[in-house]
Amino acid sequence: MTTTSPQPADHAITETIHRAELVISCAAFNDNLLFFTDALGFKVDSISPADDPRFAQISGFGQCIQLRYGEDPSQPITLRLLYLHDGITEKDERILLAPNGTRIALVPVCDELDLPPICQSFVLSSIAGPLSWNEGRAGMSYRDLIPERQGGRFIASHIRIEEGGPVADYNHYHNIRFQMIYCYKGWVRVAYQGQGPDFVLLPGDCVTQPPGIRHRVLECSPGLEVIEISCPGEHQTYADHDIELPEQQLDLERLYAGQSFVRHEREKSQWGAWRLPGFEALDMGIAQASRGLAAAFQVRTCQSDAGMATVVKHDEEFLFVFVLTGQVNLLCESFGENQLAAGDACVIPAGHSHALINCSNQLEFLEVRMSAEFSQVNESMDLQALQAMAG
């Protein structure tokens, strides 16, 4: 909520102001950001959201600027004054008007994580349909796999970089609850705080990016594609201009907001049993590292016709599937039968009976769920009963 007042600001607020920002609106956000950073030498301090940036805080030459997407760049200039709100009950943004019409925005500093409530829905994202790729940060293109983002609580992005070579990234970190990166196609060289020299992710490899860990994308192969899952859906990306990555020293025991860093390498992992018969899976180690917050598996068929009639449902806050190879039909209560092929994704809401049928022998998919304490219920029904419920 924003309030407008011609009255002077409360001294309790003005005495705690620690930074001022000039707000500049622009319709061509990315073009203007490149102008300020490449042509003028400003540095990016934070940007959001990563998949379709609309806000960036940049600094240089003693000036802080908030670059803000806006259809009408002729709006009055706004000077943002950010204040610390400890002990101040009024935490809404307030607008003061200077005699010449300049807008003064008094904005409370808030680094607390804004986690929207659970709002589950069935989602089917098909790569065969109309594709929409957004130009994101650092030259990356983003395809939104959960357009409504479960009420803002989750985001899943299919990210690609078409041209190989050095990536125009910078040392940064995220204010998030959970985040993971799965390498789908190609390879990418990355560096992470406390993890020693940089390393390469190959197809099937995965890393977690626990809250606050500094990291950077260094280079990649042409046509790199990764899947990124984050909670919450919109979060702040902060630059760190002081740290140098890669670091040579190791700090493998370090925790980041209670979570450990995970580097899962497919070629060094062993396949084991999965929660449904007829499948086997690679456990990416995320459940232990996230202290039970999340879990991720790469799953494949291990028998051509076993277990396909198992009807189940779950009671978790998030269940996401991305098909890597092959195809499968998802039969889901209230949402019918849907065919999924490579590049397709879905979210299955809690409490809905479902089954995987007509799986191809080459089927492999990524499953990400929250939490790791997966409460699956095997339904005492056959496929015909589920088909009737699916409508």
CATH number of the domain encompassing residue 139:
2.60.120.10
Give the CB-side neighbour count of residue 322, counting CA atoms within 13 A. Answer: 26
Same domain assignment for residues 85 and 193 = no
Task: Report the sign of the C-alpha dihedral through residues 45, 49, 51, 55, in that order.
Answer: negative
Residues 131 and 255 both lie in one domain: yes
Q: Is residue 246 part of a domain?
A: yes
- Of 226, 243, 262, at which residue does a domain stop? 262
Q: How many CA atoms lie within 13 A of 175 on its CB side?
A: 16
What residue has token string 């390879």?
A: 187
Whether residues 104 and 132 fall in one domain: no
| Category of 24 on φ-ψ map: left (φ > 0), alpha (ψ -120 to 50) or beta | beta
Please answer whether residues 279 and 299 qualify as being in contact, where contact means their C-beta atoms are separated by less than 8 angstroms: yes
Q: For residue 246, say if its preceding peptide bond is cis, omega within 30 degrees of 0.
A: yes
In the three-class reduction of DSSP (H, G, I as helix; E, B as strand; rest coil), residue 228 is classed as strand
Residue 281 and residue 227 share a domain: no
Residue 98 has a pLDDT of 58
312 with 366, same domain: the answer is yes
The amino acid present at 270, given as its one-letter code, is Q
Handedness of CA 241, 160, 341, 361 (dihedral sign): negative
30 part of a folded domain: yes
| pLDDT tens series, the chain, 391 aa | 455 554 555 667 777 777 788 888 888 888 888 888 887 788 999 999 988 999 999 998 788 888 888 866 666 577 777 777 655 555 677 887 756 566 767 777 766 788 999 999 999 999 987 768 888 887 789 999 999 999 999 999 999 999 999 998 999 999 999 999 999 999 999 999 999 999 999 999 999 999 999 999 999 999 999 999 999 999 889 999 999 999 988 998 999 999 999 999 999 999 999 989 899 999 999 999 999 999 999 999 987 554 456 899 999 999 999 999 999 999 999 999 999 999 999 999 999 999 999 999 899 999 999 986 667 777 777 777 888 887 7
Whether residue 292 lies inside any domain: the answer is yes
Supply the pLDDT for residue 10: 66
Q: Is residue 115 part of a domain?
A: no
Task: Measure the CA–CA gap between 208 and 285, rounded to whole angstroms.
Answer: 10
Cα torsion angle, 342, 272, 275, 153, sign: negative
Q: Is residue 352 part of a domain?
A: yes
Regarding whether 160 and 50 lie in a shared domain, the answer is no
Pair 241, 353 in one domain: no
What pairing do the DSSP bridges indicate for beta strands 43-48 and 312-314?
unpaired
Residues 89 and 127 in one domain: no
Q: Which of 207, 232, 262 is the last residue of a domain?
A: 262
Q: Are residues 151 and 166 in the same domain?
A: yes
Answer yes or no: do 319 and 279 share one domain: yes
Domain count, the chain: 3
Q: What is the DSSP string of 185-242?
A: ES-EEEEETTB-S-EEE-TT-EEE--TT--EEEEEE-TTEEEEEEEESSS--EEE-SS
For residue 114, tell me if it sits in a domain.
no
CATH code for the domain in which residue 24 is found:
3.10.180.10
DSSP at 277: T
- How much is the pLDDT for 359? 93
Contact indicator for 348, 335 with CB cutoff of 8 Å: no
Identify the three-state secondary structure at position 54: coil
Does residue 249 belong to any structural domain of this protein? yes
**Strand pairing class (199-201; 224-231):** unpaired
| Domain's final residue, options 108, 131, 156 | 108
Domain identity same for 156 and 98: no
Answer whether 191's CB lies under 8 Å from 269's CB.
no
Range of the domain at 319: 269-390
Asked if residue 282 and residue 245 are part of one domain, the reply reads no
The verdict on residue 52 lying in a domain is yes
